[in-house]
Structure 1
């Protein structure tokens, strides 16, 4: 079968496969430390993510090549309930594009500051795969991109700073050098409790654990989120911008599928045991600036989210512990996200 015919067949099945009532979901994530009145360290993050509807059976169709059907079975160990993969598990495909940038504290310094983190940009595209049941979600995600000047970190930051009449950072000539980046991420989420309190008020607890492998970041992480409010969305939480966090696609009981509304507050934590972080350790195969990273890092987020009709909007203030030795202060930044299901 020719490649163009295979792609056409895949597209046909994505759009005509048996699905639940869940639609496509477009997620926009924006994070910036200006929300905390600072401009340093992890200073900006932007990502667009498209999450497919729940797809039940199209990968088993005999009209597809045998090797493609087998791909579904390769992911069997990642399913929440492998013994029931054809009946109890829904799947989502996730496509992402994003950019992140990192800067030291002193914006006026033109020479390298050996006591502070390197300048760095990260531009990437990714493909993810979700397998979920009512209360469990497994995600695998591959991000491919570039670190260095080709990531356009300086150009993006300068454009925003000029538009807002903010002084430019002067040390981007010292940023990490160009390097292809790859990151393979796996994460498991589980809803431990979803209980009403009175009327339509309720709460749930969602735990997660996972790992990342690659020259961009290698770590193991774990954490949890507690949500309390009216008509909680039927999804797996409100993550900040991190790999594995695209989980805002509505499930069957979500108010967004019933032209409804809901509002809730949330508190989440994520801790990471870090083996490698290119934005602190520097380039993998070239000499570059680096700092002595801390191996244990944690984030805590406090926020509010609402759903109305097909929309979900959230904002959280994120607090991150110190990431490297000599870092003067822990960091805080704002995380804003908008999800639209269509």
Structure 2
């Protein structure tokens, strides 16, 4: 390869990386600024923030005693107030302009609405972390960095969630740097095969979910139960799949939403609600959740869409079973779940396990 061509490719890669990181930082900063009380007061004259909650979810297989497969993930979300429409004056002007351009994506015909802006990062690694060589029988190394917007609409016991995610897979997602930094901080060994990771590729995903809540004893008994049913799917070169699942919750005073388990394919449990409970009493409940997915494409298993890369033989049907506990205290909500998963690809030696923790701060 001529030296000039080599430099040209390096320069273009650096420009792409810088542009994408600038995009994500701008997105994150805009989410904070447009949901601040000062911005909302300027827009609407209201002194209250348009921000209803900030959400944080951390996934890590270390919680389940391993370090392979979906190794680590983090997701930060900014949840708006519950409003009457996506052009409601209680939303900042920047959000209303975004919503105007994404009218085709938004649920319609519901009583209550809200929206969520998210930034997420995921790291995927094979089981053999010692070797620098390509592990052909195991999944590719991959880092995924995405930003997204999700729109929710609900009636009393039904909800629709639609979303659009845009991001990057490959070295520009900084999976190698983030994992090495965390492992160095913890004093643990680093994975050595990142030279074999997926190549840079812009990824997107369109998603939709329908949910229904069945309450077994909604009259306020000391012990309550409900069952949340959901169906949906996604389309894109990040993931294309169909899913069906259910969550059974049990305990005193269950929350008025559509699920407690982290990692739900329904926008981090961000159901619109007008009646918030900020009790000073700790409230706990348990849940069991299951999800079945028919997977048509997953870039972290199938490899790059437009470039040559390592891949594995993906399983078409995948199942999750999660068991956990959730609770609330004053303005805080939290949940932890342990997930058991079926094999994701034919060469996988053992089914993966994963722990997921989520925390909310409501306003």
What is the TM-score with the length of structure 1 in the denominator? 0.86
Residue 284 (1) aligns with residue 305 (2):
yes
CA contact (8 A) 2:153 2:272 kept: no
Alignment deviations for residues 167-198 of structure 1 (CA, whole Å, 9 cap, x no partner) = 11000000000000101111111102252598
CA contact (8 A) 1:25 1:249 kept: no
CA contact (8 A) 2:340 2:354 kept: yes
Count of residues in correspondence between the two structures: 326
Residue 333 (1) aligns with residue 354 (2):
yes
Name the CA distance, whole Å, in 2 between partners of 1:171 and 1:67. Answer: 44
How far is 1:22 from its partner? Answer: 9.9
Pair 189,253 (structure 1): closer, same or farther in 2 beyond 3 Å: same
Which of the two has greater strand per residue?
1
The equivalent position to 1:303 in structure 2, one of 296, 304, 324, is 324
CA contact (8 A) 1:96 1:127 kept: yes
CA contact (8 A) 2:261 2:336 kept: no
Name the CA distance, whole Å, in 2 between partners of 1:211 and 1:242. Answer: 12
1:202 aligns with 224
CA contact (8 A) 1:220 1:274 kept: yes
Residue 113 (1) aligns with residue 141 (2):
no
Name the CA distance, whole Å, in 2 between partners of 1:68 and 1:125. Answer: 14
Pair 52,314 (structure 1): closer, same or farther in 2 beyond 3 Å: same
2:190 aligns with 168
Q: Structure 2 unaligned segments of length 5 or more: list them.
A: 1-32
Pair 276,230 (structure 1): closer, same or farther in 2 beyond 3 Å: same
CA contact (8 A) 2:144 2:168 kept: yes
CA contact (8 A) 1:17 1:56 kept: no
Name the CA distance, whole Å, in 1 between partners of 2:302 and 2:86. Answer: 43
Q: Structure 1 unaligned segments of length 5 or more: list them.
A: 1-6
2:19 aligns with none
How far is 1:201 from its partner? Answer: 1.7
2:273 aligns with 251
2:254 aligns with 232
1:104 aligns with 126
Pair 313,70 (structure 1): closer, same or farther in 2 beyond 3 Å: closer
Residue 160 of structure 1 aligns to a residue in which SS? helix
1:3 aligns with none
Alignment deviations for residues 69-125 of structure 1 (CA, whole Å, 9 cap, x no partner) = 97787457x34xx3xx4xxx1111100001001000000011101111000010011
Alignment deviations for residues 248-303 of structure 1 (CA, whole Å, 9 cap, x no partner) = 457344433x5554210000011100000000100001000001000000111100
2:115 aligns with 93
Pair 242,109 (structure 1): closer, same or farther in 2 beyond 3 Å: farther
Residue 177 of structure 2 aligns to a residue in which SS? helix
CA contact (8 A) 1:29 1:47 kept: yes
How far is 1:200 from its partner? Answer: 2.4
How far is 1:329 from its partner? Answer: 0.3
CA contact (8 A) 2:262 2:335 kept: no
CA contact (8 A) 2:82 2:272 kept: no
Residue 238 of structure 1 aligns to a residue in which SS? coil
CA contact (8 A) 1:131 1:137 kept: yes
Name the CA distance, whole Å, in 1 between partners of 2:88 and 2:218. Answer: 38
Larger deviation, residues 192-201 vs 126-135: 192-201
Alignment deviations for residues 46-70 of structure 1 (CA, whole Å, 9 cap, x no partner) = 0001111101146277xx9x99897
Larger deviation, residues 42-51 vs 66-75: 66-75
The RMSD of aligned alpha carbons is 3.2
